[in-house]
Structure 1
Amino acid sequence: MDRKRLENALAEALGGTEAERRAVARAACDLADSGRPSADRGHALTVPGVIGHLEDAPDDSSVVERWNWWLGALDAAYGGYDYFTVRFVEGDEEAGLRR
């Protein structure tokens, strides 16, 4: 998983703040490094795959909310994905995490 490429793809597809995109990209890289997607779903995490799944989230969701929405679905299906959710966006108090 190329973190910078994902950050750029998130900006282009979903917008959000730089801090939100950085937090989601960091979590995505951690998830990819864990090997869980490959083990559970049979294929590695890719930038286009992540963007596609996040685009399926409700339209009024932030980048972080979209990530957490998808991780919630993975957690329901396979378990153990809650660890990779984004709970805090460093340096972006305005981004927050609307719940």
Structure 2
Amino acid sequence: MDREVLMLHLRQAFEGTPAERRTVARAAGDLADSGAFERDFDAELTADVLLEHLADAPGGGPAERWNWWMGALEASHGGYREFRITAWAE
């Protein structure tokens, strides 16, 4: 997953601060590198897939949407709690 491209897409879709977008992109890259999403869904985690899921969130910036999605994945499959975002530096 190209984190720079993802940060651009996050800005266009959900705004947020540069630090927030960078943190979400890093967490998404870590998730992609872990292979957990691919193993559980038999699909590659791409920026398009990620943006589609984040768009389902009830609102908020990129980090809030990311955490909402990680909570849903944790509830349905387990093992996603480690990818939640707790803070980012401005």
Q: Which residue of 2 aligns with 1:70?
A: 69
- Displacement of 1:54 after TM fit? 0.6
More helix by share: 2
Q: Name the aligned partner's letter for residue 21 of structure 2.
A: R
Q: Which residue of 2 aligns with 1:96?
A: none
For residues 30-45 of structure 1, what are the structure 2 equivalents within 5 Å?
30-45=30-45
Q: Which residue of 1 aligns with 2:82?
A: 83
Q: Which residue of 2 aligns with 1:6?
A: 6
Cα-Cα RMSD: 0.7
Identity across matched positions, percent: 50
Q: Name the aligned partner's letter for residue 34 of structure 2.
A: S
Larger radius of gyration: 1
Number of residues of Structure 1 aligned to a counterpart in Structure 2: 90
Q: Distance in 2 between matches of 1:56 and 1:40?
A: 19
Deviations 1:16-57 (A, max 9, x none): 100000000000000000000110011110001111111111
Q: Distance in 1 between matches of 2:56 and 2:77?
A: 19
Q: Which residue of 2 aligns with 1:24?
A: 24
1:22 alignment partner, SS class: helix
Q: Distance in 1 between matches of 2:73 and 2:44?
A: 14
**Runs of 4+ with deviation above 3 angstroms:** none
Unaligned runs of 5+ in 1: 93-99
TM-score, structure 1 normalization: 0.88
Q: Distance in 1 between matches of 2:54 and 2:30?
A: 17
Q: Distance in 2 between matches of 1:8 and 1:62?
A: 14
